[in-house]
Amino acid sequence: MTTLADILRGIENGVFPTPDLSITVVPAPSARELAVVAFTAHIVIAANVSPAWVTELIPDGDLSAPLNPPFLSALEELSGRRVTAIDQLLLAPALTDPAERAAAVEGLTELTDRGHPRIERAWRYRDDVHAYTAPYGGLVLTGRGLAGRQEVALEVPVAARGAGHGRRLAVAARALVPPGTQIWSQVSPGNAASTRTFLAAGYRPVGSEALLLG
C-alpha cells in the first residue's frame, strides 16, 4: 500500500504524483497528524477515511475543494483533529560540499533547553528536534515532521530583520541535515517575506498542505 512517506520520498527524488486531476487517499502517517497535500493537478489525502467518503464530499475533478473549509471541517469532525495551518511547501537539497557546510553553520550554537518556548512548540509537531542560535538572536530548528520528513523552522528577531539573516539561517538548515537528503519548509501563503527568504536560500515550491493535529 502506498503511504504519504512514499509519496514525499518520491518528490524528494523528483518524482511527483501524476497530474491527472485525481485524488489519492492514503492512511494517516501517524497517530499525531493527518494532512491534505496538494501538488500540481493532484491531491493526496492522508487520513484514515475511505475513498467513498471523500467522493461523497468532493465533486469529481474539483481540486480546490479538498483545501476549502467545507471539506476540511468535515475532516475535522470525523477525525477529532483540527486544522493548524494551511501552508505552501518548499524543498531544498542538503549542502554537500564540506566547505559550504562548514561556512553555513559558522557562528551557530546548539540550544539544548527544551523549555525554550520555540523549541517546546517544535516538539509538539516534530520528533528529533535540534535548535541552534545565532549571535544576533536568530534561531533555526530542524526536526522530523509529517511522515518523517526533515523540516526546518527559523526565527529572526525584529531588530535584526532586513540584513539577510533569514536567508543565512535557511541555508544553514541545508547544512544541518545529512548530505544526500532533502529538507522541507512550510510557509504561510501570505508570508511573502519568508517565501522570498527560502527561495533565495535555494528552496523551490513543490505544493501546499493543510495539516491537522489532535
The span from the CA of 49 to the CA of 52, in Å, is: 8
What contacts 128, CB < 8 A, 6 or more positions away?
143, 144
pLDDT in tens, 76-110: 999 999 999 999 999 999 999 999 999 999 999 99
Class (C level, CATH) for 89-207: alpha beta
Cβ(140)–Cβ(132) under 8 Å?
Answer: yes
The span from the CA of 206 to the CA of 106, in Å, is: 29
Residue ranges of the chain assigned to CATH 3.40.630.30: 89-207
Query: pTM of the predicted model, to two decimals?
Result: 0.93
The span from the CA of 174 to the CA of 186, in Å, is: 15
pLDDT in tens, 152-168: 999 888 777 887 889 99
